Amino acid sequence: MNTPTPQKPSPARYVTAGVCLMGAMVCLPAGFIQMILALQRGGYGTSSLTLPIVWLAVGGGLLGMGIALMIWEMSVRHGVRH
């Protein structure tokens, strides 16, 4: 049976996680602000809420990816294996 080789720490994962988390910090507030403005204008239809929902979806995706990459890198650096 083959034993998996241990992974090496990667600065690229740190940088990518940081970029994803910073992007999420921009996208999520922008989506919430656009959502509030669209709802204040009385835009309860699908067309007026599409852009805010896209911003929120992108922000959520970036947040999830950033956290996952950060957990992965920390587990590699500290030798946590499951």
- 22 found inside a domain: no
- 69 found inside a domain: yes
- 44 found inside a domain: yes
Summarised one tens digit per residue, pLDDT across range 36-61 is 999 898 877 778 899 999 999 999 99
Average of pLDDT values for 12-34? Answer: 96
Amino acid at 24: A
58-62 long-range contacts, Cβ below 8 Å, gap at least 24? 58/23, 58/27, 58/31, 59/23, 59/24, 59/26, 59/27, 59/28, 59/30, 59/31, 60/24, 60/28, 62/20, 62/21, 62/23, 62/24, 62/27
Cβ neighbours of residue 46 closer than 8 Å, sequence gap 6 or more: none
**Full domain range(s) for residue 35:** 28-76
Cβ neighbours of residue 43 closer than 8 Å, sequence gap 6 or more: 49
Summarised one tens digit per residue, pLDDT across range 61-75 is 999 999 999 999 999
